[in-house]
Structure 1
Amino acid sequence: MQTVPLYTTALGQAIVGDSRILLDELPDRSVNLVMTSPPFALQREKQYGNVDQAAYVEWLCTFAEKVYRVLTEDGSFVLDLGGAYQRQRPVRSLYNYRVLIKLCDELGFHLAEEFFWYNPAKLPSPIEWVNKRKIRAKDAVNTVWWLSKTDFPKANIRNVLVPYSDRMKQLQADPARYYTPKDRPSGHGIGSNFGTDNGGAIPSNLLQIANTESNSYYLRACKTAGIAGHPARFPQKLPAFFIEFLTNPGDLVVDIFAGSNTTGAAAEATNRTWLSFEENRAYLAASAFRFLSHAPLAEAAAMYDTLQSTTHPIHLDQLHQTRLDVA
């Protein structure tokens, strides 16, 4: 990157700026995964700068065009988009589906698979239709589009196997007792090797991940610094799933709407290199807390002030090493 980062870690760089400009600094076919959650096209304006629904599709595609160029041929673009209602109507907006269709029909992406992130902790909304009039169910699922440049992007489901159910564990322990091989009504047969232990079960495309961060180091450091945490954070388990599924250690992961840099933290934790782009300097400065959990909260808060005013990159990994040397 030509642009000076706000801070760096052992594996990544967090950079303040418009992602459309910063993506232009990256070579063709140099990024293995772009994992991001842009501001949603909500009818009510939020403090993190969402775009009106009418203009949203074209706006988002100005970023996606540049994402396509920098992705490796086997790379992936994963886009988390929440749904929305039309203004003053109990009718759903189609904006997130229009985004998908334009990305595939006009920009050349392939829909490798659609995922749905179910957040069981999400509060009932929208208030008018769910809480007051009680004519709609609460909106608790985001669409997550897994897009690629070819039919065969890099992917390994064995990296994200989930624990077996108790029933499956019983079957594996004693297959003859709990299962008799037979054909299903559809005509598909399941053989006697159905109870083989493969290290875990294949996950579905419904990802149940509660967004319940309330007392994390990040939020405690924000409180110590006298600032609010980013208002639209997604849980680290969400980007971690796709990072482990679609990349290998050492690959490059990029988030073009970094916010509190959950994607960068997930990439760092799984030994991937990363770049995170965010226009709002205050949000990105506070995101350094995700890499400072070794430090007392007061020191982290002081680092936020430094990041807000510095013109030189701060190397967080060097600060950590300095503390270890002193200790």
Structure 2
Amino acid sequence: MKTYFQTENGKFIIEDFFKLYDTYLSKHYKNKFQLILTSPPFPLNAKKQYGNYQGDEYKNWFIQLAPLFSNLLKEDGSIVIELGNAWEPGRPVQSTLHLECLLNFVHHEEAGLRLIQEFIVYNPSRLPSPAQWVTVNRIRTIDSYTHIWWIAKSDFPKADNRKVLRPYSKSMKSLLAKKKYNAGKRPSEHNIGKKSFLKNNGGSIAHNFFELEPLDEKREVRLPHNVLSFSNTNSNDFFLKTCRERGITPHPARMHKGIVEFFIEFLTDEDDLILDPFAGSNTTGYCAEKMNRRWISCEINEKYAEQAKIRFEDPLLNNRILQEL
């Protein structure tokens, strides 16, 4: 095991996750992590630089993670996994591989897991994919979203949606100001009380659909505050700007920082412990440090570990790298 660098709250380790589990995590961190948050290599057809598996090889690799994650997770902890779509090699047919992976992961007999909720991240800025069938043959539409799956060991993992509220709509703000609305029975047979919507809760409950850019320019996008703060700001992102200045090609499959912060805020408290077993450039560790959570990140590629250090030069962070190898 090679601890590449440490901060006040966490450590970044260069190692294959399965080896790290066998030699270190299973011995020292059983039932310790409140959240395992990661974007593993996607089951893509063309092998990418960041090392994704393919087909049945990917499925077998992915499924064997289930009992390991379960063993490391606290009883009320959560697993959050971003998983993209896949397509059949050479065919304009969407693969069911990602769904097979999910179902087998959740139902692994040694893991005792259950699927809590599905989230959709819509990003219209994604490049046209699959390119052959979208831009050449022009017989399919663009895959513009990814799935995020929330999984847990318990039916009632620790969570609080009051910590990730969306801003109220203009109409709701107006209603709260006027302190009256059209109460009574609706066609749906719901009976709306005279005071049902007069309490100001600081915002509305978040949806499981993240609209990173507006579907309708005339309509206000109402993402949770921590997601909205990162929406449409990639050009000003410290990490990307620094990579450009230093001639570094950034990791091609980075998780959106706002989404990472949403789940950290939603599912953990300060000082809770978070694991990212496939950290890449370490978005999870960066956000955890910024939000005063403890963290461990694992990445096998030393090139991406170098990029991870850049994140801790960010002036938004109070904590810096304390020790590095």
> Which TM-score bucket, shorter chain as reference?
0.7 to 0.9
- Select between 60-69 and 211-220 the one with higher mean Cα deviation: 211-220
Taking the aligned partners of 2:252 and 2:235, their CA distance within structure 1 comes to 12
- 1:246, 1:72 → 2: CA distance? 12
TM-score for the superposition, normalised by structure 1: 0.85
The partner residue of 2:6 within 5, 8, 16 is: 8
Deviations 1:184-210 (A, max 9, x none): 323222223213210111011111235
- What is the match of residue 246 of structure 1? 267
Deviation at 1:47, TM superposition (A): 0.9
CA distance, structure 1, for counterparts of residue 310 and residue 247 of structure 2: 13
| Residue pair 2:86, 2:95 contacting (<8 A) in 1 also | yes
Counterpart among 190, 193, 197 of residue 194 in structure 1: 197
- Structure 2 residue aligned with 1:162: 166
Q: Which shifted more, 187-196 or 54-63?
A: 187-196
- Aligned partner (choices 195, 206, 211) of residue 208 of structure 1: 211
Tell me by how many angstroms 1:215 deviates. 4.4
TM-score (normalised: structure 2): 0.86
Residue identity over aligned pairs, in percent, reads: 41
Equivalences for residues 300-311 of structure 1 within 5 A: none
Aligned ranges for residues 100-111 of structure 1 at < 5 Å? 100-106=102-108, 107-111=111-115
CA distance in 1, matches of 2:198, 2:100: 42
Tell which deviates more after alignment, 204-213 or 110-119.
204-213
Instruction: Say which SS state the counterpart of residue 108 (structure 1) adopts.
Output: coil
255, 261, 268: which one aligns with 2:276: 255
SS for the counterpart of 2:64 is: helix
Q: Secondary structure at the match of 1:6?
A: strand
The 3 A distance-change label for structure 1 pair 181 and 235 is same
Whether the aligned pair in 1 keeps the contact of 2:126 and 2:144 (CA below 8 Å) is yes
Q: Distance in 1 between matches of 2:191 and 2:94?
A: 40
The answer for the alignment partner of 2:292 in structure 1 is 271
- Per the alignment, residue 141 of structure 1 pairs with 145
Which deviates more from structure 2 when the two are superposed, residues 58-67 or residues 179-188? 179-188
Match of 2:60 in 1: 58
Q: Which amino acid counterpart does residue 137 of structure 2 have in structure 1?
A: R
The answer on 1:129 being equivalent to 2:133 is yes
Distance 1:154 1:20 in 2: 27
Which one of the candidate residues 92, 99, 102 is aligned to 2:101? 99
27, 30, 34: which is aligned to 1:28? Answer: 30
Is the deviation greater in 284-293 or in 127-136?
127-136
1:71 aligns with 2:92: no
CA distance in 2, matches of 1:276, 1:161: 28
Residues of 2 paired with 1:180 and 1:226: CA distance? 59
- Equivalent-residue separation in structure 2 for 1:173 and 1:229 (angstroms): 47
Q: Which residue of 1 aligns with 2:311?
A: 290
Q: Partner of 1:29: helix, strand, or coil?
A: coil
Decide which of 199, 205, 222 is 2:243's aligned counterpart.
222
Q: Give runs of ≥4 in structure 1 deviating > 4 Å.
A: none
- Does residue 1:185 correspond to 2:183, yes or no? no
Which amino acid counterpart does residue 128 of structure 2 have in structure 1? P
- Greater Cα offset, 265-274 or 89-98: 89-98
After superposing the two structures, state which structure 1 stretch, 255-264 or 181-190, moved more: 181-190
Q: CA deviation at 1:4?
A: 4.1
Please tell me the root mean square deviation across aligned C-alpha atoms, in Å.
Answer: 1.9
Deviation sequence 1:124-163 (CA, Å, 0-9, x none): 2222222233322211111111000010100000110011
Report which of the two has the higher share of helix: 1
Task: Give the distance between the partners of 1:20 and 1:199, measured in 2 at CA.
Answer: 43
> Which letter does structure 1 place at the counterpart of 2:45?
Q
State the partner residue of 1:118. 122
2:187 and 2:242 map into 1 onto residues whose CA distance is: 57
Supply the distance in 1 between the matched residues of 2:163 and 2:143 (Cα, whole angstroms): 30
Residue 226 of structure 1: CA displacement? 3.3
CA contact (8 A) 2:2 2:15 kept: no
Q: Which deviates more from structure 2 when the two are superposed, residues 179-188 or residues 205-214?
A: 205-214
Residues in 2 aligned to 1:11 and 1:50: alpha-carbon distance in whole angstroms? 29
Q: Is the 8 A contact 2:38 2:276 kept in 1?
A: yes
Distance 2:144 2:126 in 1: 6
Distance 1:196 1:294, change over 3 A: closer
Q: For 2:11 and 2:154, locate their aligned partners in 1 and report how far apart those are by CA, in whole Å.
A: 28
User: What runs of 5+ residues in structure 1 fail to find an aligned partner?
Assistant: 296-314, 320-327
